[in-house]
Amino acid sequence: MDATPSRHRRRLLTVLAALLLVPGLLSGPAHAAPLHGAPAPLAPLDQSAVMGRVTPGLVDINTTLNYQSAVGAGTGIVLDPSGEVLTNNHVIEGATSITATSLANGRTYPVDVIGFDRANDIALVRLRGAGDLPVASLGTSSAVAVGDAIAAIGNAGGAGGAPSFSPGNITQLGASVRASDESGGGSRELTDLIRVAADVRPGDSGGPLVNSAGQVVGVNVAATLTYRMGNVRGGEGFAIPIDRAIGVAGAIRSGGGPGVHIGDTAFIGVGIADPAAGGPAGAVVRQVLPDTAARGAGLAAGDVITSADGVAINTATDLSNFMDAHHPGDTVTLSWVDREGNPRSAPIVLGSGPVG
């Protein structure tokens, strides 16, 4: 059941199964306690009733990543009639254009990014020109418990149209997983997640995890398609608790906070990766894009960026975090070691680049 990532369809979902390389954030095993002794699942949800309540407050999100010759898809949750939408950061990360289609009226809107929090994998976006959209019914994640019946809903497979419905139950609270970004953003740990036995699939990212009342209690963020428990075989998923997601959205609305980036993304013009095991620390340059500040400064594939404005860069994530604290037009001094082992340094004026 191995699969190869498609170059033209990416960032559909964080995937946890090591043998299933689905486009998106690729990760290792979740840090999860054994499930022995978990309460028996409650009765399944009424699909028709839940979908009737949830669907109007959703959008399908489609992205184009021109620099990577790729497209992506995911889901968004409408928070405000004017078109304010909650989704995962990895759904929009690296996008050079974003559109969203309302499942309430069928209209497709251009999307502006208000801000994002990379560590929490949450983004807040706005549908340009939208109005009078139905909003999602929000519950509270503080009230959920192991064994509760839930359903993950979203744009499974990026196919659009009627959303998918994946019922199941909660198997763990407070789960963690370490994920690595195939586009070179480095690894990150997602913590305090809701773990569910449900067939969460690529494209469900950013979509709602709902309770039996059709209220959103989480934001789908990760999945494994190799889950087994007893005689049950199918998918397993992870969701960001809605209380935390709404807290991040509030910080973005208010103009910032720790880990929050507002507005356009600063851009050097390189694709980066973590260093090889045992190799020198730094952000390894995998690609230098034409007509960018990096190309003008002389950076080349194989170079290793070691510091920015005197701040040590030990991994690709370090450089991403540094960039999140800056904006287009800022001047920073990059230091790197070139492919021949020579130390180099140059001031770079940051451009405006892809989202996230």
Instruction: Provide the annotated active-site residues.
Output: 90, 121, 205
Are the beta carbons of 76 and 90 closer than 8 angstroms?
Answer: no
CB 338 within 8 A of CB 297: no
Q: Extract the tokens encoding 55.
A: 């669907």
Taking CA 81 as the corner, what is the angle to CA 114 and CA 127, rounded to the nearest 5 degrees? 40
Rounded CA separation 224/50 (Å)? 24
DSSP, residue by residue, 280-346:
-SSEEEEEE-TTSHHHHHT--TT-EEEEETTEE--SHHHHHHHHHT--TT-EEEEEEE-TTS-EEEE
- Helix (H/G/I), strand (E/B), else coil: 232: strand
Distance CA 268, CA 285 (A): 11
Angle at CA of residue 148, ends 142 and 153, nearest 5°: 90
Sign of torsion over alpha carbons 153, 96, 265, 22: positive
Closest Cα to residue 101, out of 117, 85, 113? 85
**Within its chain, how far is the Cα of 88 from the centroid?**
4
N residues, the chain: 356
Tokens linked to 272 = 């980066």
Interatomic CA distance for residues 17 and 246, integer angstroms: 28
